[in-house]
């Protein structure tokens, strides 16, 4: 996996949502996910999305040092690729959702990936 930009590996704000239909998966996205698609994507009627767990994307992980990272960064859906780190949209996500990430870090309710 190619490392995400520095600020992305620490932030994770844009990976939180209360919606089960937050991360759209197009046909191309589904194909790019390869073998992972079956386990991480879910269909609502004929639309596909990444699964959400406790108001966050199922692909979001945390390191032992308390940084977030995307388990499928190289093959993440287009909607994630389109959000440019440092852009106005990125800053808006950080502003609106920083507390979601902070709460997770405080509660340590996510599975810690000890390989990082």
Q: Decide: 51 and 58 in contact? Cβ < 8 Å.
A: yes
Q: Of 57, 62, 100, 104, which one interacts with ligand SF4 (CB under 6 A)? A: 57
Nearer to ligand SF4 by Cβ, of 42 and 85: the residue is 85
The least CB distance from residue 61 to ligand SF4, in Å, is: 8
Candidates 31-39, 41-49, 55-63, 104-112; binding stretch for ligand SF4 (CB under 6 A): 55-63
Distance CA 83, CA 78 (A): 9
Q: Does 72 bind ligand SF4 (CB under 6 A)?
A: yes
Q: Does 94 bind ligand SF4 (CB under 6 A)?
A: yes
The least CB distance from residue 46 to ligand SF4, in Å, is: 21
Q: Of 25, 33, 41, 60, which one interacts with ligand SF4 (CB under 6 A)? A: 60
Q: Does 12 bind ligand SF4 (CB under 6 A)?
A: yes
Distance CA 95, CA 46 (A): 33
Distances (CA, A) of 33 to 6, 52, 71, 78: 23, 16, 11, 11
Q: Does 41 bind ligand SF4 (CB under 6 A)?
A: no
């Amino acid at each position: 996996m190619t490392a995400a930009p520095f600020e992305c590996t620490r932030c994770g704000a844009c990976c939180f949502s209360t919606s089960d239909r937050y991360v759209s998966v197009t046909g191309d996205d589904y194909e790019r996910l390869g073998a992972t698609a079956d386990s991480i994507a879910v269909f609502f009627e004929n639309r596909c999305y990444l699964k959400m767990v406790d108001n966050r994307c199922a692909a979001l992980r945390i390191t032992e040092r308390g940084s977030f990272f995307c388990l499928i960064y190289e093959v993440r859906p287009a909607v994630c690729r389109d959000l440019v780190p440092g852009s106005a949209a990125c800053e808006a996500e950080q502003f609106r959702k920083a507390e979601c990430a902070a709460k997770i870090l405080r509660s340590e309710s996510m599975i810690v990936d000890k390989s990082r």
